[in-house]
Chains A and B, each alone.
Chain A
Amino acid sequence: MALPMIREIFTQLFRTPATNQFPARHLPKSVTEFLKKVGSGEARMIPPVATPPAFRGKIQYDRDGCIGCKLCLKVCPAHAIEFIPETKRVRIYVASCIFCGQCNDICPKHVLTMSDEFLLATEDRFAENQIVE
Chain B
Amino acid sequence: MSDEMKKKPYVVPIGPIHPALKEPVQFLFEMEGEVVKKADFAPGQTHRGIEWMGMRRNPVQIVHLTDRICGICGVTHSLSFARAVEQIVDIEVPARADYIRVIIAELERIQSHLLWAGVAAHELGFDTLFYLAWRVREDSLDVIENITGNRINYGLVQIGGVRRDITPEQHPVIHKCLDGYRDLLGKMLNLFLHDTTISIRCKDTGKLSFEEALHLCTVGPTARASGVVKDVRVDYPYAAYGDLDITPILPSAYGGEINGDVYDRIVVRLLEIEQSIGIIETCLKEMPEGGIIWEPKLPKLLAACKKAHGEAIGRHEAPRGECTHYVAMDGNEAPAMWKVKASSYSNLHSWIPMLEGEQLADVPIIVASIDPCLSCTDRVAVVRGNSSDLLTKEDLHRLSVEKTRRIQGC
Chain A residues close to B by CB (< 8 Å)? 1-5, 8-9, 18, 52-56, 71, 74-77, 98-102, 105-106
Contacts and interface: CB of A to CB of B under 8 A. Distances in A.
Contact of A4 (B61, B155, B163, B190): B190
Interface string B48-73: 00000000011011101101100000
21 contacts: A2-B195, A3-B195, A5-B129, A8-B187, A18-B135, A18-B138, A55-B149, A55-B150, A74-B58, A75-B61, A76-B61, A98-B64, A99-B155, A100-B153, A101-B149, A101-B155, A102-B60, A102-B61, A102-B64, A105-B163, A106-B299
Contact of A8 (B62, B155, B191, B196): B191
B149 A71 contact: no
Nearest 5 A-B pairs (CB), nearest first?
A100-B64, A77-B61, A106-B298, A100-B155, A77-B64
B298 A105 contact: yes
B135 A5 contact: no
Contact of B298 (A55, A99, A102): A102
A76 B68 CA distance: 14
B-side interface mostly: helix
Contacts of B64: 77, 98, 100, 102
Nearest to B150: A56
B92 interface: no
A56 B132 contact: no
Contacts of B126: 5
A48 to B, nearest CB: 13
Contacts of B129: 5
B299 A71 contact: yes
B145 interface: yes
B194 interface: yes
Contacts of A75: 58, 60-61, 298, 302
Nearest to A6: B128
Nearest to A49: B142
Contacts of B128: 5, 8-9
Interface of B: 57-58, 60-62, 64-65, 67-68, 126, 128-129, 132, 135, 138, 142, 145-146, 149-150, 153, 155, 163-164, 187, 190-191, 194-197, 298-299, 302
Contacts, number: 73
A9 B155 CA distance: 37
B52 to A, nearest CB: 14
Contacts of A76: 61
Contacts of B153: 98-100
A98 B61 CA distance: 11
A3 B196 contact: yes
Nearest to B192: A4
Given A3-B195, A4-B190, A5-B195, A53 B60 contact: no
Given A18-B138, A56-B155, A77-B61, A4 B194 contact: yes
B181 to A, nearest CB: 16
Given A4-B190, A75-B298, A106-B299, A99 B195 contact: no
Given A71-B298, A75-B58, 13 more contacts: A4-B194, A5-B126, A5-B129, A8-B128, A8-B187, A8-B191, A18-B135, A55-B150, A56-B155, A71-B299, A75-B61, A101-B149, A102-B155
B65 A77 contact: yes
A132 B187 CA distance: 49
A18 B129 CA distance: 14
A52 B145 contact: yes
A67 to B, nearest CB: 14
Contacts of A2: 194-196
A54 B149 contact: yes
B91 to A, nearest CB: 17
Contacts of A53: 146
Given A4-B195, A52-B145, A98-B64, A77 B57 contact: yes
A2 B138 CA distance: 28
Contacts of B67: 100
Contacts of B146: 52-53
A5 B124 CA distance: 14
A65 B326 CA distance: 40
A5 B191 contact: yes
Given A74-B302, A77-B64, A102-B64, A8 B58 contact: no
